[in-house]
Amino acid sequence: MIEGAHWGFGDAVRVVCNVRNDGTYPGVATGELLVRRGSIGHVVDIGTFLQDQIIYSVHFLEIGKVIGCRQEELIGIDEPWVESRFEVRERVRAAKALVMGGNEVVPSGAIGEILRVIRDASPPAYHLHFDCQPGRIFAVPEDALDALFPPHD
């Protein structure tokens, strides 16, 4: 096994973010969804990219694809997993005004971008920034957000 690798051949893993083609998956357009977050697969090979990134070849039996995944895109099958409505880099809308110390800091309908999914919260929460508050990062519960666009994948 490669030094620093968390999983070995045959280990079951879960992908924690949507994986899209970065141009290295043949026969699929760049940017197209390859595997949806939460999917389970098995490690079939371990390699490196640029000598410092561990890449796992993961066989996702349900979709019949072997996809290269970075270590940070995976968790072990026994690790806790909480499904979330939104994903990192997704654009969202504030479902209601966000208030801090009695003052409205983000109006209802404001547009923001997810920076991090906080899965250990119940329900999930998100770190995000809103266009109306450049440079500020907010922790916002899932029920305070709406999808900006209808799902397409």
Mean local confidence (pLDDT), 30-46: 91
What kind of fold does domain 12-76 have according to CATH?
Answer: SH3 type barrels. (2.30.30)
Q: How far apart are CA 133 and CA 77, in angstroms?
A: 38
Q: Which among 40, 50, 20 has a CA at the least distance from the CA of 81?
A: 40
Q: How far apart are CA 84 and CA 22, in angstroms?
A: 23
Lowest pLDDT segment from 34-38, 78-82, 118-122: 118-122
Lowest pLDDT segment from 81-85, 104-108, 109-113, 123-127: 81-85
The per-residue pLDDT of the chain, averaged, comes to 87
pLDDT at 152 over 70: no
List, for residues 60-103, the tens digit of each pLDDT value.
998 999 999 988 889 899 888 878 888 777 899 999 999 999 99
Beta-carbon contacts of 27 under 8 Å, excluding residues fewer than 6 positions away, are: none
Mean local confidence (pLDDT), 19-31: 87
Q: Which among 73, 69, 115, 70 has a CA at the least distance from the CA of 92?
A: 115
Q: How far apart are CA 16 and CA 18, in angstroms?
A: 7
Answer positive or negative: Cα dihedral of 44, 50, 54, 59. negative
The residue type at 105: V
Per-residue confidence (pLDDT) for residue 13, from 0 to 100: 95
